[in-house]
Amino acid sequence: MNITLAQLNYHIGNFEQNTKSIIEQISAAKAEGSDLVVFAELAVCGYPPRDFLEFEEFISLCEAAATQIAAECMGIACIIGLPVKNVQPAGKDLYNAAYFIEDGKVKAIVKKALLPNYDVFDEYRYFEPATEFDCIEYKGYRIALTICEDLWNINNNPLYISNPMDELILQQPDLMINIAASPFSYLHDEERRQVLSDNAARYKLPLLYVNQVGAQTELIFDGGSMAYDSQGQLLDEMPYFETASRTYRFDGKGFPDLKPVAHQPVSDIAQIHDALVIGIQDYFRKSGFSKAVLGLSGGIDSAIVCALACRALGPENVMAVLMPSKYSTDHSIKDALDLVENFGCMHQIIPIKEAADAFDLMLAPAFQGLPFNLTEENIQARTRGVVVMAMSNKFGYILLNTSNKSECAVGYGTLYGDMCGAIGVIGDVYKTQIFELARYINKDREFIPENTIVKPPSAELRPDQKDSDSLPDYDTLDAILYQFIELRKTSAAIIEQGYDAELVRKVIKMVNGAEFKRYQTPPILRVSPKAFGQGRRMPLVGKYLP
């Protein structure tokens, strides 16, 4: 039996395009002699559909698309993921399910049992968990079909009290297939490979795994569909961050044409780079926009975002706006212009001195002679926000936010100023990673000017300002932030590791105090195990200080 894994990029609620892509893949697989083609979790509607699932019409459109797909399955079978109705009055109204379609008909429906309800996942909000499990009979073989999380309850600290495969293995299946929508983080691919390997070895069955690829707003899916033998050895690994399909010959015991292969590791920074590029591409493509605007300061953060946008959208679709103030240095302007020249993107120079001075003059009577402070710094940042938003409105550009994770964490940014935008490109990338990312972008030639990378970071909102005036050095800051945000360590636990007690408490207080800012910032492309946004939910006025 020949089985094709289809690793596609779906668009939530775009039934016409999703159906077209699925049918095209079925036709191609049939033409090359495949017997079965397998698509990802909720492939018909796209993942995660969230509250679209609460519209009855949305579910009807899923069913209509599945009927259209089924009509194409003559002489070939397919597995597609979609939500299906729960006909029982008790429980949630829907199941996260998969259709097994053969000869134009739905021959089996498999329902997901383990519904993740942590971090970015909230499936139990919508779906009822399955309680009955049956293998699929096809071409003389028994297939144990599971959906994503159904294979993840295999570690030493299980999240669920049951395992679907413990039930399915009693029916003596020949093969496991898992369809998934497994989001990317730069650590997740290692964990995913281990989970799949452990399942294959535990149940002594060969395993095929298919994941989707592409971005759905902040969530990025990296593909990397795989085949394993019954000892848990990796046999094949499909590309990451690319659509792809691959056909495997199954003989009842395994995949005789394949031999064990070693995973080819890719650095965290390379993965982050590729994820951010596809994140930008899909945000624009799926939103129906093509051109981006950003403020380009001459600093490393905006340089990184400009570089990524040029690679994602093409430099001809990127407008970099230089907005020097009276505190901007000549070298910052030169660095920004050098970057523009290196990439060939569009640019405008719009000084903000007159506008900022006008605000100062207008507010002088109300400020009653009080000295210059953070207020005037923020006026400059908000003036820049007005400029780039005006460019967005006038020309239909989408504004890219350039705040990094370190700044987002401690609130080192101006709400409605440099924190505005439609999508946060690097808001899940720590400052120390930003420097690594710059070196990676420059690995073949100097795109980002060397001076941009080596000069001390500065917001340039007052004379001789440096980030170090307000923040600890980024190596220390990011280490504390990682312990607190990603690892959820308390201040006491972090201090025990040797960090200065006063500094740790100050940093954590800054993180908690900036929650209201993050609540109002754009969605952030998720590349880490714990990103700001829907996967990290904190009270705005909570008193508890970990």
Residues carrying an active site annotation: 41, 112, 148
Instruction: Strand 105-111: give its sheet, edge to edge.
Output: 105-111, 94-102, 77-85, 36-38, 2-7, 244-249
Q: How far apart are CA 144 and CA 163, in angstroms?
A: 13
Across-strand partners of 83? Answer: 96
* Residue count (the chain): 546
DSSP character string of 4-25: EEEE----TT-HHHHHHHHHHH
378 is in an annotated binding site: yes
81 is in an annotated binding site: no
296 is in an annotated binding site: yes
Q: Check: CB of residue 386 under 8 Å from CB of residue 359.
A: no
Q: Is 543 helix (H, G, I), strand (E, B) or coil?
A: coil
267 is in an annotated binding site: no
403 is in an annotated binding site: no
Q: How far apart are CA 301 and CA 307, in angstroms?
A: 10
User: Which of 472, 505, 528, 451 is closest to 187 using CA atoms?
Assistant: 528
Q: How far apart are CA 449 and CA 446, in angstroms?
A: 6
Q: Check: CB of residue 123 under 8 Å from CB of residue 114.
A: no
Which amino acid type is present at position 233?
A: Q
402 is in an annotated binding site: yes
Phi, psi of 528 (to 5 degrees): -110, 170
HEC sequence for 476-529: HHHHHHHHHHCCCCCHHHHHHCCCCHHHHHHHHHHHHHCHHHHCCCCCECCCCC
User: How many CB atoms lie under 10 A from the CB of residue 516?
Assistant: 11
Q: How far apart are CA 270 and CA 267, in angstroms?
A: 5
354 is in an annotated binding site: no
**DSSP code of 534?**
T
List the Cα angle 273/401/11 in 5-degree steps: 65
299 is in an annotated binding site: yes
186 is in an annotated binding site: no
Q: Is 336 helix (H, G, I), strand (E, B) or coil?
A: helix
Q: How far apart are CA 83 and CA 12, in angstroms?
A: 13
394 is in an annotated binding site: no
407 is in an annotated binding site: yes
Q: How far apart are CA 163 and CA 169, in angstroms?
A: 10
118 is in an annotated binding site: yes
User: Which of 59, 60, 79, 84 is closest to 69 using CA atoms?
Assistant: 79
297 is in an annotated binding site: yes
Known binding-site residues for L-glutamine equal 118, 182
Known binding-site residues for deamido-NAD(+) equal 378, 407, 517
Known binding-site residues equal 118, 182, 295-302, 378, 402, 407, 517
Known binding-site residues for ATP equal 295-302, 402
